[in-house]
Structure 1
Amino acid sequence: MRPMLATLTETVPAGPEWVHEVKWDGMRVLVEAKGGALTVTSRTGRDVTVAYPELAPLADLYDDMVLDGELVAMVEGRPSFAGLTERMHVSSPRRAATLAVSRPVTLMAFDLLRLLGQDLTSQPWSARRQLLEQLEIDAPRWQVPPTYDDGEGLLAATADQGLEGIVAKRRSSSYAAGRRSPDWLKLPHRATESVAIGGWRPEVGGQLLGAVLVGVPGPDGWDFVGRVGSGLAGRAGAAMLQRLGPLERGDSPFAAEVPREDARGTTWVEPEIVIDVASLGRASGRLRQPSFVRVRSELTPTDLQETSDG
């Protein structure tokens, strides 16, 4: 089974048919307890059980149970995706056991999909949630986070607290496994920052601009921070390509070698165009889910360097 996915929205839905939750900055997982054993599966269907041994005692709570939730790593009291990256892709049980002590994760369980052999996915969210709360499973390494009726208030509160955003769910919605549904709506807070373009890649199978490679000032030059494709379709991409054409150069302007999967098919350019991108921050030096906002024609690369130095 794959998890149900939320659809991006720009407004908070209102009305008594909607309920609101905190959007956690972590890793989406399905957790199955069955016959005393626990299986943790990623959003893509990968078995990641070995990486999170601190969740193993969940298997002792109920003989048959499937939870949907988010694994988060708390850093200074807040979820940190960067703090979670060290736990991801760990395949050594010994290494995982060490990290479970030094950098433990917490499962934020927000849905119940099966209990004691009964498939609950066809039940409305309200019924699944009521049953989930009745399980009383809260413990140091897993918890059932609260829900809220006031979506606008929660959105403001999560912004003030530096959280990722909110998710609104229709109370009557069934669980659409593996599908992106309009019954779940996500509204993340996305920080905006200015970056310089150092290259561009064509769209797959075409000549039009598909994405730009961007960087920020670093101690040795320009530090590559990722590719930006969202927001550059159609006219925006065509206009950007016109700006970049005269700036073509033969080699990468970035200080360190750009990963092969990013560099493949790239036309390098002088990093003279500054743009604003919105993202969910950075993980391992890369922008998370970046999207193009606008060209900052009033800013130069020197402006970015001076801001960085200051």
Structure 2
Amino acid sequence: MRPMLASQGTAIPAGPSWVHEVKWDGMRVLADVHEGQLQLTSRTGKDVTATFPELAGLALETEDALLDGEVVALEGGVPSFTALAERMHVQDRRRAAALAVVRPVTFMVFDILRLYGVDLTSRTLSERRATLERVGLEGAHWRVPPVYDDGRLLQEATRENGLEGVVSKRLSSKYHAGRRSSDWLKFPHRATDSVVVGGWRPETTNATRLGAVLVGRPTSTGLRYLGRVGSGLTGRAAVQLLDRLGSMGSDASPFADEVPRIDADGTRWVRPEVVVDVTALGATHGGRLRQPAYKGLRADLTPTDLLETEG
């Protein structure tokens, strides 16, 4: 099963038909508990159980359940995607266990899709939420965050506290696995996009260090160029990304459209296989990202996944 996805909203809905949640800056995960075993699955269907060993205790919370939520890495009480990016790609159990001690994650559970063998996806969100609260999940590394009646007030509170935004959900909505629905609406304070790296540029003062990446969005006609991203590419994040790109060199640009000379000059092209998250203040009339900033490597996504969710 793949999780239900939210659509981009334009105005936060009001009234008793909706509830509102904090939009967590993390990694979407389904947690399947059955007969004392836990399996964690990413949004794309990848098994990430070994990646987050601190969540193993969920298997003791209930005999059988399928939970939907977001894995986050908290720094000062605020989710940090940069910190989470260090965890997302790790599959080696020993390495994952060591990271779980120094950079632990928290699983924010916001939905329940099965309990004691009963499929709950055809029930309304209000029914599923009541069931989730009765289960009483509360541990050192997992919790059920509250929902709120006033979405606009929550929007202001999340902005003031440095959180990513708000998700508004219709109480009568059923769970449509693998589909993007207008019954769930997302309102990020700064839009986040998953994009594909098509090339990188070295720092002007050090040719061995990563200074910027050229990114695009997969479409049915090829990789469409979105612009150059340099902000946020510092320290360990830059080293980690360059390690991934270093062996992917290509002789030609992977973009289907023409890259402006000012961006293309000095760029080292790569095979379009690496997905990263960037934030931006929308797009220009020419389709370029406005003031983009690098957030982190998305080891859980492939370019094909982005194409499948296009639009």
Establish whether TM, by shorter chain, passes 0.5. yes
2:228 to 187, 211, 214: 214
Question: Any conservation in 1 of the 2:73–2:79 contact (CA below 8 Å)?
Answer: yes
Task: Write the mapping of 1:99-248 to structure 2, written as runs, cut at 5 A.
Answer: 99-190=99-190, 210-216=224-230, 244=260, 247=261
Question: Residue 4 and residue 216 in structure 1: after superposition, are their counterparts in 2 closer, same or farther (change >3 A)?
Answer: closer
Question: Residue 2 and residue 102 in structure 1: after superposition, are their counterparts in 2 closer, same or farther (change >3 A)?
Answer: same
Q: Secondary structure at the match of 2:123?
A: coil
Length, aligned pairs only: 250
Query: Could you give the per-residue CA deviations for residues 206-237 of structure 1, whole angstroms, max 9, x where no partner exists?
Result: 69x93143144899xxx9x9xxxxxxxxxxxx
Q: Provide the C-alpha distance between the structure 2 equivalents of 1:61 and 1:21, rounded to a whole number of angstroms.
A: 23
Question: Residue 188 and residue 201 in structure 1: after superposition, are their counterparts in 2 closer, same or farther (change >3 A)?
Answer: closer
Q: Give the TM-score, by structure 1 length.
A: 0.71
Q: Give the TM-score, by structure 2 length.
A: 0.70
Q: Provide the C-alpha distance between the structure 2 equivalents of 1:156 and 1:45, rounded to a whole number of angstroms.
A: 34
Please, what is the CA RMSD of the aligned residues? 3.6
Quote the offset at 1:260 in angstroms: 3.0
Query: Could you give the per-residue CA deviations for residues 167-217 of structure 1, whole angstroms, max 9, x where no partner exists?
Result: 00000111111111111011111179xxxx99798986769x931431448
Quote the offset at 1:10 in angstroms: 1.8
Task: Write the mapping of 1:259-274 to structure 2, written as runs, cut at 5 A.
Answer: 259-261=270-272
Greater alpha carbon shift after TM alignment, 23-32 vs 91-100: 91-100
2:31 is aligned to 31
Q: Provide the C-alpha distance between the structure 2 equivalents of 1:279 and 1:126, rounded to a whole number of angstroms.
A: 37
Quote the offset at 1:253 in angstroms: 3.2
* Structure 1, gaps ≥5 residues long: 226-239, 264-272, 286-310
Structure 1 runs of 4+ aligned residues shifted over 6 Å read 197-203
1:282 is aligned to 295
Q: Secondary structure at the match of 1:86?
A: helix
Task: Write the mapping of 1:6-25 to structure 2, written as runs, cut at 5 A.
Answer: 6-25=6-25
Q: Provide the C-alpha distance between the structure 2 equivalents of 1:22 and 1:3, rounded to a whole number of angstroms.
A: 17
Matched to 1:31, the amino acid is A
Q: Provide the C-alpha distance between the structure 2 equivalents of 1:93 and 1:199, rounded to a whole number of angstroms.
A: 33
Q: Provide the C-alpha distance between the structure 1 equivalents of 2:99 and 2:217, rounded to a whole number of angstroms.
A: 41
Question: Residue 199 and residue 134 in structure 1: after superposition, are their counterparts in 2 closer, same or farther (change >3 A)?
Answer: closer
* Structure 2, gaps ≥5 residues long: 193-211, 242-256, 275-285, 299-311
1:232 is aligned to none
